[in-house]
Amino acid sequence: MLTPSPAPYFDRMLGWLAPQWQLRRLRARAALAELAADLADPSRTRRIGGERWRRVDGTPNAPERAGGYRLVR
């Protein structure tokens, strides 16, 4: 029998008890999602001057895509 994941309950509990840890957890999820996308498509990143830059995804006319790449921190 499949049981539901405790993650939604844990996230709500962190929101009440320790909001700074909830924020840290959300940032870690976003970073892991970006890393998975980079590993799936290596052309998304390039090395410029010894630093890693990530391609900005979005519609071709989007203003945030004008530069094309942003520095990964």
Q: Which two tokens stand for residue 32?
A: 């892991």
DSSP classification of residue 44: G
| pLDDT at 31 (0 to 100) | 84
- Break the chain into its structural domains and give their ranges: 1-40, 42-73
Q: Where are the beta strands (DSSP E) in the chain?
A: 45-48, 51-55, 69-71
Distance between CA 70 and CA 53 in Å, rounded? 5
| pLDDT at 8 (0 to 100) | 74
Residue range 14-72, pLDDT digits in tens: 788 888 888 888 888 888 888 888 788 887 788 878 887 877 766 666 665 556 666 66
